Amino acid sequence: MSKIERIKADKDGLDVYPDLMRAAREGWEALSDDDVARLKWYGLYPHNTKDGNFMLRVKVVQGVLTGDQAETMAGIAADYGRGIIDCTTRQCFQIHWIRVENIPDIYGRLDEVGLTVTGACGDIPRNVVGCTLAGIGHDQVVDGQATSQALHDFFLGKKLYSNLPRKFKISVTGCAEDCARGLINDLALSGAVAEDGTAGFNMRVGGGLSSAPRFARWIDVFVTPEEAPEVAAEIVSIFRDSEELRSKRGRARIKFLIDSMGPEGFREELERRVGRPLHRGVKTHGGLNGDDHIGVTPQHDGLHSSVGFCVPVGRLRAEQLSEFVNLARKHGSADGELRLTHQQNVLIPFVKNENVDALLNEPLSQDLSPAPPVFMRSVQSCTGKEFCGLAKVYTKSRAVEIARFLDAHVLPNGHGEDLRVHFAGCSSSCAQQQIGDIGIEGVLKKVDGKFVEAMDIRIGGRLGDNARFGDVVVKKIPHWDLNETLLNIFTLYEQHHQPEETFRDFAARTEPTWWSERLELVEA
């Protein structure tokens, strides 16, 4: 039995709450090492310094926040997180520098506005993600937001699902194009309409990244919104009950179970557990890529627009988040609704069309522009070595530096508005580097007898109908050569792409060895 499996067998992660409250009174040192590990079930990760500072993650279902909820998060960041709050790739918030003695006040504030940390981390169903513009920006075929909330409510706090082999991630979108990155989730529900006119969801299972990436597999199952929680629960139960997965933590995700059972075998077991045949999947023709929702997007009612703001690497100051709420109440909905995106940005929905220009002229629109330059728009990153014990390199500040460098030195020339540069501090893929047009992964390299920060670079990752993971084309670039190496990549694109050919399309038809040979020559 692995260390983590022993910790979970000794005490369920959800049972650590009394110990956390005791530590809030007596100090974090009162926590055993095992209980520190269990704090993840309540959204807390220790900083890599192991000095009593923690990262707090808060669930935000599909990224939808009321103004009161956003103001509460800003207040917690201002009071306890040194005034900084991070937007994640799973439409959540994270705040650093949290001390356990402040947890009772923090959790109390969150509870008052209907936010939760339960299951934000740990081996448990995580935050349910979905389309940023659910119900307002696309011609959705089914209400994905309602199903996301139903799934969130179903799994929340249930011990039946709180001891899984590893984490379990769910994506739901009601629009057929599936802009919620479903292909890299353990369970993906995407909107579809059956032949009889019934609206519901196709299900895919077994997506995930890290060192063994997989796209979610088609299991040929269609569910109605009413069926979704029941069938999802049985999928999670199959995962939970797999002793095979618990034997090796590095291979404890449901993607490996799909590898061994096969999609058809998995469907058969799912039907056995549900106790009835399930509807066959509905063939659709939508892409599975989506966009970053930056800029002005007309809503389907014709009266309103949504305005997406670029938040470089997802890092906000508390006062900026408060100002977003002020602007949302002034120009958008009365309750100040905000939405968080998969690209770590912030969107204000329900802006009356006649108010759009006024919103774009607000000071915050100049700082966090809805019309950013290409590379500042494209970059996303994980927490990195600043706080994370797994990361090999610093990411947040470096990613901003990279974006500024490329925007200053690369002339935009058909790269594509949805170009993506993902920078991860390690192979765990919190920054999803395998699906970026450019994926940067932190590693270590020995130079003159000492280990220095270095990076592997991938090219050609993409979701969509022709989904593929990026290939590593150059390895262990010392950090001081990273900017120039990236510049060389875009110079090669400039020199060889066809007219009107985006970087993504050029990368799709270009072999990894083509890049490697030319980049190695440049590096030499």
pLDDT per residue as tens digits for the range 4-52? 999 999 999 999 999 999 999 999 999 999 999 999 999 999 999 989 9
Q: Give the pLDDT of residue 418.
A: 79
- Average pLDDT over the chain, rounded to an integer: 94
Q: Give the pLDDT of residue 520.
A: 82
What SS3 string covers 227-285?
CHHHHHHHHHHHHHCCHHHHCCHHHCCHHHHHHHHHHHHHHHHHHHHHCCCCECCCCCC
Distance CA 316, CA 140 (A): 31
The model's pTM is 0.95
Q: Does residue 206 contact residue 255 with C-beta atoms inside 8 Å?
A: yes
Give the distance, in angstroms, between the CA of residue 400 and the centroid of all CA atoms in the same chain.
Answer: 19
Within 13 Å and on the Cβ side, how many CA atoms surround 92? 24
Beta bridge partners of 452: 445
Which burial class, exposed, middle or buried, applies to 158 when counting CB atoms under 10 A from its CB (0-12, 13-18, 19+)?
A: middle
pLDDT tens readout for residues 424-442: 999 999 999 999 999 999 9
Over 70: is that where the pLDDT of 298 sits? yes
Query: Phi and psi dihedrals of 144, rounded to 5?
Result: -70, -30
Q: Which amino acid does the sequence have at 478?
A: P
Element (H or E) spanning 348, and its range? strand 346-352
Distance CA 460, CA 241 (A): 36
Give the confidence band of 465 by pLDDT, cuts at 50, 70, 90: confident
All structural domains of the chain, each given as residue ranges with its CATH number in brackets, are 1-121+296-329+347-368 (3.90.480.20), 134-274 (3.30.413.10), 376-523 (3.30.413.10)
pLDDT tens readout for residues 166-224: 999 999 999 866 678 999 999 999 999 999 999 999 999 999 999 899 999 999 999 99
DSSP string over 54-108? EEEEEB-GGGEE-HHHHHHHHHHHHHHSTTEEEE-TTS-EEEEEE-GGGHHHHHH
**CA 411, 412, 416: angle at the middle one, nearest 5?**
155
Q: How far apart are the first and last CA of the chain?
A: 47
Distance CA 369, CA 363 (A): 10
Q: Give the pLDDT of residue 178.
A: 65
Give the confidence band of 288 by pLDDT, cuts at 50, 70, 90: low
Rounded to 10°, the helix 512-523/482-496 angle is: 130
Distance CA 16, CA 173 (A): 33
Distance CA 405, CA 228 (A): 46
Does the CA dihedral 99-104-110-113 come out positive or negative? negative
Query: Phi and psi dihedrals of 326, rounded to 5?
Result: -55, -45
Which phi-psi region, left, alpha or beta, contains residue 293 (left: φ > 0; alpha: ψ -120 to 50)? left
Q: In the structure encoding, which two tokens stand for residue 402, read together?
A: 């990279």
3-class SS of residue 174: coil
Compute CA distances 43 → 17, 22, 33, 244, whole Å.
Answer: 11, 17, 16, 27
- For 473-493, b where at least 16 C-beta lie within 10 A, e where not — what string? bbeebeeeebbebbbbbbebb
Q: Give the pLDDT of residue 283.
A: 85
Pairing of strands 44-46, 304-309: unpaired
Kindly state the percentage of the chain with pLDDT values over 90: 91
pLDDT tens readout for residues 489-512: 999 999 999 988 999 999 999 999
Over 80: is that where the pLDDT of 240 sits? yes
Q: In the structure encoding, which two tokens stand for residue 323, read together?
A: 């100002």
Kindly state the percentage of the chain with pLDDT values over 70: 97
Q: Mean pLDDT check: name the lowest of 64-68, 464-468, 502-506.
A: 464-468
Distance CA 52, CA 27 (A): 9
Q: Give the pLDDT of residue 80.
A: 98
3-class SS of residue 468: strand
Rounded to 10°, the helix 103-112/17-26 angle is: 130
Return the number of other C-beta atoms located less than 10 Å from residue 404's C-beta. 16
Q: Give the pLDDT of residue 59.
A: 98
Q: Give the pLDDT of residue 122.
A: 97
Query: Residue 204's closest CA among 191, 195, 194?
Result: 191
pLDDT tens readout for residues 71-111: 999 999 999 999 999 999 999 999 999 999 999 999 999 99
Distance CA 5, CA 215 (A): 26
Distance CA 436, CA 361 (A): 32
Compute CA distances 387 → 4, 89, 396, 398, 489, whole Å.
Answer: 21, 17, 11, 14, 30
Over 80: is that where the pLDDT of 151 sits? yes
